[in-house]
Structure 1
Amino acid sequence: MKRRKFFEKSALGTLGAGLLPLTAFSMDVECDVDVNSGSHRGQSSDPEQWYQLGTGKRARPDRKVEKAYDVVVIGGGAAGICAAVAAARNGAKVVIVQDRPVFGGNSSSEIRVHLNGVNQLKNGLPERETGIIEEILLHNRFYNPQDSYPVWDHVLYDFVSREPNIDIKLNTSALRAIMKGGRIAAAHCWQLTTETEYTFNAQIFIDCSGDGLLAATAGAKYRTGREASAEFGEKYAPKEADGWQMGSTVLLGSKDMGKPMPFVPPLFTIPYEAHKAHRERALTPFELGFWWVELGSEDDIVGEYEDSKHKLLGYAYGVWDYLKNSGKFPETENYALDWVSSLPGKRESRRFIGDYILSEPDMLGYRHFDDAVAFGGWSLDEHNPGGMLNLEEPPSYFHEDFEEPYQIPFRSLYSANVPNLLFAGRNISQTHIALSSSRIMATCALEGQAVGTAAALCSKFGVMPRELGAKYMHELQEQLLRDDAFIPYRVASRPGDLAKDAAVIFASSTSSGSAESLTDGISRDYAGKAHHWQSETLPAHIQVEWVEEVALSTVEIKCDTNVKKNIMLRRDSLEDKIYTTQVPKEMLKSCHLEGRINGSWVKVAEIQDNKVRRLRLSFPTAKVTAIRVALLETYGKPQVKLFEIRCYA
């Protein structure tokens, strides 16, 4: 029945008609009440408990659903999103399970942490992540220029929901793993909003949830706390191992109301002891709050979370009360709290054990791993474990910056003892000190793309992650590089790419680099070497020639998005030499592709309003002796720069 007709039909008799079925229900169903306990005995087993007025049917409201997938991804933060999308794009049927109503994890509107990555090396410049996480950040630049965090939530939802191979389950918690023969057979989940129990069966499971409850209930080995310095030769680790873990933070934001705004602190406020505070606990600028309102733990940081949240809210309001009412900050007079997080952002809990434990010497020594699949480069940023209970110490120990990104091995991204379990994010196989750098969300996202791609390849080749690493590492790395991930110093061999077999590649003009660089296997300028071609003006074109006729159906191009500048969403919408709120002006906006067929140039594909770094031009298979890519417009720069061109049958 249509909504309008329903209200027209029921408007006059709403009260009477609404009471009668309830009376009938109460007379028709036995309800045995224990007057002492107030409980209703027998209700849970009564098959006629639910009388549905619209259909007249009786049923018990048990909602249980069992479904099968190739890959189950637990967690909807940056790592989980990239894992799910990577697996789906590589042919796997995926479900992503997120226990919150929104995607984004710590970057969501619920918490609002900046989605940092390799933001700044010792040279002062970023080495920005590409691949799926860059697609997401570009998507946000196009559809959320106002830098709204609630809109960011829906940018992420749009990004995931448009993938046809992904089912989304929000407000859904993975409660436990169902095991069979030492492997995870299924994830038992509960969706709060629909009161539905889900059982998700799959071949491969990826835990990107941070705390890793699914992995823990599967029996996956893990550790918490800080290693002793001698165990891995870590100079920044404590002399003796202990249980301390970096804490969670409550963020707040304030707004200038244009008039005096008195502040009366709530009863749960904990006074801020400013006289004890280390000088690095800066109170200005205050508009965006303070990342150091934090509480760690030396015991069960997961079990203590709700108690810590209560204290953190008290501490956060205590800092604001000090700013407003101490008399030392008259500039706060017209400011009022605009937003306070009710969900503290976590940094550390379980770290699962893989075939390799990544450590501080690996990072500082820039160790080369044959199975490298991701990279990091945020400083070794170990937060004060006591947080607000240790005000005398700095809020974080920024131990050391990196000169260049370090590699992350695949062996740190799967379980040593649960064969079909992968993980990405802060719960990977690493030490506490290593976590102080790799926990950053864009780094976690790269791990997510790696394990999502690996999961799809596991399904394709019929193997478990360890065997994939032993037998198919080349295939995994090559797929990641094709999909625009970057692995430091890993040169793509590009199997199946016909461009590398071309007789000649040339351009209409060149201002820097060379056209031949587009097939050299490195898709960014790196380590002081150029791997690009740049035109003198626009329009321009690149031409690829073969001696013999070839059959093509896809041409892929990687354009310039200036990885030396960050495009993340920030609460302060910062615009400077390192950060921008704009779509990269260097990015290619429009182009078309021609093929030389039977001696004549024929347009076979075009792209308008491009929004990604890796452009994919697909067309019905054509036999050509050459292709010509006409590069028409960027988002503002008068030249165009490319880093790679690939051609596939």
Structure 2
Amino acid sequence: MKRREFFKAGVAGAMTAGLAPFSANASSDCSPLNSRNHDQWFDMSQGQFRRPDRRQTRQYDVAVIGGGLAGICAAVAAARNGAKVVLVQDRPVLGGNSSSEMRVHVHGVSFLRPDGKPERETGIIEEILLLNRFMNQQESFPVWDHVLYEFVTREPNIELMLNTQALRAYVSGNVIKSATCWQATTETEFEIKAKQFIDCSGDGLLAAQAGAQYRTGREGKKEFNEQYAPDQADGWQMGATLLMSSVDMGQPMPFEPPSYTIKYEAEKSNKRRKFAGYENGIWWIEVGSDDDIIAEFEKNRHTLMGYLYGVWDYIKNSGKFPEAENMALDWVQSLPGRRESRRFIGDYILSEPDLLNHKHFDDAVAYGGWSLDEHNPGGIENLNDPPSFFHAHFHQVYQIPYRSLYSKNINNLLFAGRNISQTHIALSSSRVMGTCSLMGQAVGTAAAICVANDVSPRQIYTDYLTQLQENLLRDDLYIPKRPANDEADLARQAAIIVASSTSTGDAQLLTNGISRDIDGQVNHWMSRGLPADVVFEWQQPVELSNVEIKCDTNTKRNIMMLKESKNDDVFINAVPPELLKQLQLEARVNGRWQRLAVVTNNRTRLIKFTFEPLTTTAIRIRLEQTYGAPNGKLFEVRAYQA
């Protein structure tokens, strides 16, 4: 089959025209960039002209497009589950909206009513946030970029491609065979072949090019029985925002707005357009769209720059903010952070009633709980309305089904982030990055299972769903109302589980399959002071090579980085004091205790011990020190044979 026959244009012809440098129909007078036909590269060392060949073909098990937090979690999950992975990111840094280019807080289930406490995400995203607390105590967003870089590049099964845009999908039947990617910094065209593709790019260009079905804009009330949807479907999408930050210079700092400034009309503004904390940015400097929000991006970016400086001019020169006299801008975002564009269609479309009614899904793989935070579609161009409607707040988390995370019509395509299969109103809650990260870990794990078993994402739902959920629970991704029940976990077969001391909980709870206190139920054991031991004993000897522990990091307190660096009952700006720092593992072999491992500077909630297989009748875990808490707390202990 000819190469052209593999190509399916999933977006408007204008998009294809925009890729003219790569067109196979380019004339001899205007050769495609990848041909290098007219490249006059003169090699001084050889004294001759030569033609650089910068076209490469790479083969992987899983290709993840988009290096935001969802994409990072997808890539790491797939790699840790045995897949060879490429992570393709079109920016020079990782992190998407959380990166130093945009500096959006990594919210998830950050506030639940009525007490305002979180139900914080664990798994890979928590591992990232904890690493940041160790490596970035100064809470620098540029350093955060490099924390993420460290987190990804240390994984041996991941190849990272920065400054690389996935431009085209080549499809045979309903299967993506390869993606054409352009790396701007090296002028290299990559043909990336993979068995499974995961689009975490937000806008989803690759998925659209593959012909994956999607929708944009708002659904009408009747389609999904959504009370907060408009009466009739329309094209409105939540907009993109520009942020800024300012610093007190200790002396008066006059401000003269640039020529493109758009005056902020305070007299027309809804009273909910507040300026509290303006020195760290104002989230409602936003412009939406009722048409093609992607095509309008550059126009909207210029408009947003005008509005941002108009707001700052109002703060500095209106006389309403005398405390701003000594303030000066020290950072202004140049790349708007987008909230919404394409939403791809899966086997299930998540909707408002699913969230508000806390629908139970047999294929739940993630959860959310951010409010129904539908931003004013017009953004700052509609000053009369509040910047966001905050339709409803949650008292408990809701489930996200796996069937919303893979394509209905492309057989090897998954997605995670704001582009999943959901309605506009559902998106208003699930779009926050902590929630998107859980989706990423879920689809990365699913993709690895697809590769290992040579099956499609849909077959995971029909034939491998239990394996997917058990893998996620083992890797510390919490699934609401779904306790772990891993038959291979030998800790569940222990005849005796006993602790040296107990202040709260019960050591027996360490095998109940629920790795956090939730829904008013205690699911932990906590010592009375340190050191303290917990022992698992079997009636008959067992062969072990792995022991896994989930300790405490206080999931009722947020650990993401904030520009205002809060440290209170809801946020902490340091390493959680509850986290275990030092512990050791012993096994009883032939009647004598044998030390297997010692950890002195633990940095994760999920602690894994791997050792040469041995036959034992008991293991003993000794908790020796935390990062400040007086007692040690565990939520789960698992044990496995090689």
TM-score by length of 1: 0.93
1:59 to 47, 50, 53: 50
Q: Which amino acid aligns with 2:333?
A: S
Report the identity percentage. 62
Distance in 2, Cα, partners of 1:225 & 1:43? 36
Contact 1:43 1:49 in 2 (8 A): no
Residue 492 of structure 2: aligned partner:
500
1:69 to 57, 60, 74: 60
Query: CA 1:47 to 1:518, structure 2 compared with 1: closer, same or farther past 3 Å?
Result: same
Residue 634 of structure 1: aligned partner:
626
Distance in 2, Cα, partners of 1:43 & 1:591? 55
1:124-523 → structure 2 map (5 Å cutoff): 124-523=116-515
Query: CA 1:45 to 1:408, structure 2 compared with 1: closer, same or farther past 3 Å?
Result: closer
Residue 6 of structure 1: aligned partner:
none
1:184-212 per-position Cα deviation (integer Å, ceiling 9, x unaligned): 00111000100000011000000000000
Structure 2: gaps (5+ residues):
1-28
Report the alpha carbon displacement of residue 46 of structure 1 after superposing the two structures with TM.
4.6
Residue 616 of structure 2: aligned partner:
624
Report the alpha carbon displacement of residue 293 of structure 1 after superposing the two structures with TM.
0.1
Q: Which amino acid aligns with 1:68?
A: Q
Distance in 2, Cα, partners of 1:557 & 1:43? 51
Query: CA 1:461 to 1:432, structure 2 compared with 1: closer, same or farther past 3 Å?
Result: same
Report the alpha carbon displacement of residue 451 of structure 1 after superposing the two structures with TM.
0.1
Contact 1:524 1:643 in 2 (8 A): yes
Residue 4 of structure 2: aligned partner:
none
Distance in 2, Cα, partners of 1:120 & 1:270? 34
Task: Classify the secondary structure of the residue corresponding to 1:526.
Answer: coil
Residue 22 of structure 1: aligned partner:
none
Contact 2:36 2:53 in 1 (8 A): no
Task: Classify the secondary structure of the residue corresponding to 1:398.
Answer: coil
Q: Which amino acid aligns with 1:402?
A: F
1:570-617 per-position Cα deviation (integer Å, ceiling 9, x unaligned): 111111110110101001111111111111111011111000000001
Contact 1:218 1:418 in 2 (8 A): yes
Distance in 2, Cα, partners of 1:621 & 1:42? 55
Q: Which amino acid aligns with 2:85?
A: V
Distance in 1, Cα, partners of 2:39 & 2:256? 53
Contact 2:34 2:189 in 1 (8 A): no
Distance in 2, Cα, partners of 1:46 & 1:300? 36
Distance in 2, Cα, partners of 1:419 & 1:43? 30
Residue 87 of structure 2: aligned partner:
96
Query: CA 1:355 to 1:119, structure 2 compared with 1: closer, same or farther past 3 Å?
Result: same
Q: Which amino acid aligns with 2:96?
A: G
Report the alpha carbon displacement of residue 388 of structure 1 after superposing the two structures with TM.
1.2
Residue 531 of structure 1: aligned partner:
523
Report the alpha carbon displacement of residue 55 of structure 1 after superposing the two structures with TM.
3.6
Moved more, 224-233 or 326-335: 326-335
Distance in 2, Cα, partners of 1:80 & 1:513? 37
Report the alpha carbon displacement of residue 278 of structure 1 after superposing the two structures with TM.
0.6
Report the alpha carbon displacement of residue 48 of structure 1 after superposing the two structures with TM.
8.0
Residue 549 of structure 2: aligned partner:
557
Task: Classify the secondary structure of the residue corresponding to 1:524.
Answer: coil
1:122 to 99, 110, 113: 113
Distance in 2, Cα, partners of 1:125 & 1:218? 42
1:220-248 per-position Cα deviation (integer Å, ceiling 9, x unaligned): 00000000001000000000100000000
1:413-439 per-position Cα deviation (integer Å, ceiling 9, x unaligned): 000000000000000000000000000
Query: CA 1:607 to 1:41, structure 2 compared with 1: closer, same or farther past 3 Å?
Result: closer
1:87 to 67, 78, 92: 78
Distance in 1, Cα, partners of 2:35 & 2:550? 59
Distance in 1, Cα, partners of 2:188 & 2:37? 18
Report the alpha carbon displacement of residue 40 of structure 1 after superposing the two structures with TM.
11
Contact 1:75 1:97 in 2 (8 A): yes
Moved more, 159-168 or 487-496: 487-496
Residue 17 of structure 2: aligned partner:
none
Task: Classify the secondary structure of the residue corresponding to 2:361.
Answer: coil
Query: CA 1:627 to 1:45, structure 2 compared with 1: closer, same or farther past 3 Å?
Result: closer
1:643 to 630, 635, 638: 635
Q: Which amino acid aligns with 1:437?
A: S
Residue 570 of structure 2: aligned partner:
578
Q: Which amino acid aligns with 1:586?
A: E
Report the alpha carbon displacement of residue 553 of structure 1 after superposing the two structures with TM.
0.8
Contact 2:34 2:188 in 1 (8 A): no
Task: Classify the secondary structure of the residue corresponding to 1:202.
Answer: strand
What number of residue pairs does the alignment pair up?
Answer: 612
1:533-548 → structure 2 map (5 Å cutoff): 533-548=525-540
Q: Which amino acid aligns with 1:248?
A: A
Query: CA 1:41 to 1:170, structure 2 compared with 1: closer, same or farther past 3 Å?
Result: closer
Q: Which amino acid aligns with 2:466?
A: H
1:241-287 per-position Cα deviation (integer Å, ceiling 9, x unaligned): 00000000000000000000000111111111111111111123321
Distance in 2, Cα, partners of 1:427 & 1:223? 10
Distance in 1, Cα, partners of 2:106 & 2:471? 25
Q: CA RMSD in A?
A: 1.5
Distance in 2, Cα, partners of 1:150 & 1:642? 34
Report the alpha carbon displacement of residue 41 of structure 1 after superposing the two structures with TM.
13
Distance in 2, Cα, partners of 1:353 & 1:359? 12
Distance in 2, Cα, partners of 1:411 & 1:55? 58
Contact 2:525 2:634 in 1 (8 A): yes
Distance in 2, Cα, partners of 1:44 & 1:473? 46
Report the alpha carbon displacement of residue 325 of structure 1 after superposing the two structures with TM.
1.1
Distance in 2, Cα, partners of 1:46 & 1:400? 59
Report the alpha carbon displacement of residue 56 of structure 1 after superposing the two structures with TM.
3.8
Report the alpha carbon displacement of residue 495 of structure 1 after superposing the two structures with TM.
2.4
Structure 1: gaps (5+ residues):
1-37
Contact 1:189 1:199 in 2 (8 A): yes
Distance in 2, Cα, partners of 1:210 & 1:40? 32
Residue 3 of structure 2: aligned partner:
none
Distance in 2, Cα, partners of 1:632 & 1:93? 38
Distance in 2, Cα, partners of 1:109 & 1:458? 34
Distance in 2, Cα, partners of 1:291 & 1:62? 45
Distance in 2, Cα, partners of 1:440 & 1:405? 14
Distance in 2, Cα, partners of 1:575 & 1:545? 41
Residue 15 of structure 2: aligned partner:
none
Query: CA 1:256 to 1:45, structure 2 compared with 1: closer, same or farther past 3 Å?
Result: closer
Distance in 1, Cα, partners of 2:56 & 2:112? 48
Distance in 2, Cα, partners of 1:67 & 1:482? 32
Q: Which amino acid aligns with 2:436?
A: C
Report the alpha carbon displacement of residue 363 of structure 1 after superposing the two structures with TM.
0.3
Contact 1:607 1:617 in 2 (8 A): no
Q: Which amino acid aligns with 1:121?
A: L
Distance in 2, Cα, partners of 1:495 & 1:447? 25
Query: CA 1:267 to 1:639, structure 2 compared with 1: closer, same or farther past 3 Å?
Result: same
Task: Classify the secondary structure of the residue corresponding to 2:367.
Answer: strand
Query: CA 1:329 to 1:173, structure 2 compared with 1: closer, same or farther past 3 Å?
Result: same
Q: Which amino acid aligns with 1:587?
A: L
Distance in 1, Cα, partners of 2:36 & 2:280? 53
Contact 1:606 1:617 in 2 (8 A): no
Residue 30 of structure 1: aligned partner:
none
Report the alpha carbon displacement of residue 61 of structure 1 after superposing the two structures with TM.
2.3
Report the alpha carbon displacement of residue 490 of structure 1 after superposing the two structures with TM.
0.1
